Amino acid sequence: MPWKNGKVTFADGTTYHAELLVEKGDEIWNVRIHKGNQEIEEIDAKEFAAKFGKTAGEVYPFTYNIYER
């Protein structure tokens, strides 16, 4: 499972650089969000959402783009 560089856009429109841990081509398992040169948060999206009996897409109000090489 590789970490891929990309960006995350939150529901309020703010965008941040992120590293996304991608499984099976499109399932995000973990996200590291950066502001400037600092890592702000590492989120295990799947684990957190599972606590609510939901998928990560149902819990998190963000979109993401993965940078293509």
| Contact (Cβ atoms closer than 8 angstroms) between residue 44 and residue 29 | yes
H helix or E strand, kind and range, residue 43? strand 38-43
Residue spans per domain, the chain = 3-66
pLDDT one digit per residue (tens) for the chain, 69 residues: 688 899 988 777 888 898 888 877 667 778 888 888 887 877 777 787 788 787 777 766 677 788 865
Compute and round to an integer the Cα radius of gyration of the chain.
12
| Contact (Cβ atoms closer than 8 angstroms) between residue 16 and residue 28 | no
Longest distance between any two alpha carbons in the chain, whole Å:
35
